């Protein structure tokens, strides 16, 4: 029994090494994952984020009008390039990434608010999602999380207006900035 | 060997699941195989569930698994290949304010993407 298992393990390792060193696995971003592999990776991602974000407590005042405007400016400066928004396409760089960055208008279906904060702050390995901890202040990370959480209630027109930064709101002067550094 | 059988079944399942139509349905122009890759390069699958393309569960655009049977595009245009190509290239011209943005799809790519969607 033990010998059989060891033998099977050894054969598996040899096959793995041949596939690895032979370069047979297609690493091209145009080649899609096998659905099974994609699903396993995604489940792992889900459980990992749930676990690591479990002690984070979202501020109670999340989503004030000023904070949403600030979040819209941060989103426009740093997120829209890859994620796009309602009625707004991402740039080509975001469209042809593998895995595809995806829309955030349904982010609240898959993630709790604290988990969105954790993902934004820490990024996601090998997915192209950068970590923002060292590039955005904590206030700006929460602001952009509040904005993403409010997206399901926006029409494409609302979204365009909020991210255009051209309206008469007092916060529009920050729209062109990339957010305050920590 | 049970393990061998499971491995074989999994491999088969992965291969089958990764296959889409390779030839266009009757009366459809374009290259569905190229269309499937083109579709991923315009991130269609980021908002729409697309058959044979691995992706996350998304709740933004409608699933695209029954486009060959579907009668209307965006509830506005009769679902012909020519209209689908128009829609893919410029949805905002057909339905201004729709949440689907213009993705900058070229005519060739739109024909191949529509061939893929209509050959399911």
Q: Where are the domains of chain A?
A: 48-174
> Other CB atoms closer than 10 Å to residue A53's CB: what's the count?
19
> Has residue B63 got a pLDDT over 90?
yes
Q: Going by C-beta distance under 8 Å and a sequence separation of 6 or more, which residues neighbour residue A115?
A: A49, A50, A53, A56
Output b/e per residue, B12-40; b: 16+ Cβ within 10 A.
eeeeeebebbeebeeebebbbbbbbbbbb
- The CATH class of the A48-174 domain is mainly alpha
Distance of CA A65 to the CA centre of its chain: 23
CA distance A35 to B12: 12
CA distance A111 to A99: 18
Average pLDDT on B56-68 reads: 93
> Has residue A141 got a pLDDT over 70?
yes
CA distance A73 to A176: 7
Confidence band for A168, pLDDT divided at 50, 70 and 90: very low
> Has residue A164 got a pLDDT over 70?
yes
Which member of A88, A89, A94 has the closest CB to residue B104?
A89
> Can you give the pLDDT at residue A40?
95
CA A41, A92, A107, B102 dihedral sign is negative
Cβ-contact A163, A75 below 8 angstroms: yes
Q: Going by C-beta distance under 8 Å and a sequence separation of 6 or more, which residues neighbour residue A7?
A: none
The pair of three-digit structure tokens given for residue A146, joined into one six-digit string: 């509040």
Please give, rounded to a whole number of angstroms, the shortest distance from the CA of A129 to a CA of chain B: 15
> Can you give the pLDDT at residue B23?
87
> Can you give the pLDDT at residue A171?
45
> Has residue A58 got a pLDDT over 90?
yes
> Can you give the pLDDT at residue B20?
80
> Has residue A170 got a pLDDT over 50?
no
> Can you give the pLDDT at residue A10?
95
- The CATH number covering residue B65 comes to 2.60.40.420
CA distance A149 to A104: 9
- How many structural domains does chain B have? 1
CA distance A71 to A65: 10
> Can you give the pLDDT at residue B11?
59
- Would the CB atoms of A88 and B101 count as touching at under 8 Å? yes
Residue A2 backbone dihedrals phi, psi, to 5 degrees:
-65, -40
What is the domain extent for residue B108? 2-118
> Is B2 near chain A, with CB under 8 Å?
no
Task: Classify B72 as helix, strand or coil.
Answer: strand
CA distance A120 to B71: 41
Q: Is the peptide bond before A99 cis (omega within 30 degrees of 0)?
A: yes
Terminal-to-terminal C-alpha distance of chain B: 36
> Has residue A172 got a pLDDT over 70?
no
Average pLDDT on B11-19 reads: 55
> Is B14 near chain A, with CB under 8 Å?
yes
> Has residue B27 got a pLDDT over 80?
yes
Q: What is the pTM of this model?
A: 0.86
Cβ-contact B84, B67 below 8 angstroms: yes
> Can you give the pLDDT at residue B22?
84
Q: Give the pLDDT confidence of A82-109 residue by residue, as tens digits.
A: 999 999 999 999 999 999 998 999 999 9
> Is B120 near chain A, with CB under 8 Å?
no
- Would the CB atoms of B43 and A36 count as touching at under 8 Å? no
Average pLDDT on B56-60 reads: 92
CA distance B115 to A171: 47
For chain B, the 3-state helix, strand and coil shares in percent, each to the nearest 5, are 45, 5, 50
Distance of CA A104 to the CA centre of its chain: 8
Pick left, alpha or beta for residue A20 (phi over 0 → left; psi -120 to 50 → alpha; otherwise beta).
Answer: alpha
> Could you report the predicted ipTM of this complex, rounded to two decimals?
0.84
> Has residue B81 got a pLDDT over 50?
yes
> Has residue B1 got a pLDDT over 60?
no
Strand partners, A124: A129
Terminal-to-terminal C-alpha distance of chain A: 58
> Can you give the pLDDT at residue B120?
87
> Has residue B65 got a pLDDT over 70?
yes
The more confident residue out of B12 and B73 is B73
Average pLDDT on A105-129 reads: 96
> Is A87 near chain B, with CB under 8 Å?
yes
């Amino acid at each position: 029994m033990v010998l059989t298992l060891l033998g099977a393990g050894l054969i598996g390792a040899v096959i793995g090494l041949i596939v690895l060193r032979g370069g047979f696995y297609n690493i091209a971003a145009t080649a899609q994952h096998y659905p099974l592999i994609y699903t396993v990776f995604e489940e792992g991602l889900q459980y990992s984020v749930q676990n690591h974000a479990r002690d984070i407590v979202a501020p109670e005042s999340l989503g004030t009008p000023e904070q949403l405007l600030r979040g819209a400016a941060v989103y426009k400066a740093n997120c829209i390039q890859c994620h796009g928004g309602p009625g707004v396409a991402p740039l080509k760089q975001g469209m042809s990434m593998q895995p595809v960055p995806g829309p955030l208008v349904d982010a609240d279906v898959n993630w709790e608010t604290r988990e969105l904060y954790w993902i934004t702050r820490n990024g996601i390995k090998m997915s192209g999602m950068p970590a923002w901890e060292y590039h955005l202040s904590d206030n700006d990370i929460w602001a952009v999380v509040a904005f993403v959480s409010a997206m399901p209630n926006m029409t494409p027109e609302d979204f365009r207006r909020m991210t255009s930064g051209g309206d008469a709101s007092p916060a529009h002067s920050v729209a062109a900035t990339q957010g305050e550094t920590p | 060997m049970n393990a061998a059988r499971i491995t074989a079944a999994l491999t088969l399942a992965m291969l089958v699941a990764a296959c889409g139509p390779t030839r266009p349905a009757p009366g459809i122009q374009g290259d569905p195989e190229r269309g499937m890759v083109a579709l991923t390069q315009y991130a269609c699958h980021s908002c729409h569930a697309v058959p044979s393309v691995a992706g996350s569960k998304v709740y933004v655009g409608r699933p695209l698994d029954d486009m060959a049977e579907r009668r209307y595009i965006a509830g506005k245009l009769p679902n012909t290949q020519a209209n689908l190509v128009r829609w893919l290239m410029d949805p905002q011209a057909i339905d201004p304010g729709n949440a689907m943005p213009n993705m900058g799809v070229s005519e060739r790519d739109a024909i191949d993407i529509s061939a893929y969607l209509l050959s399911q």
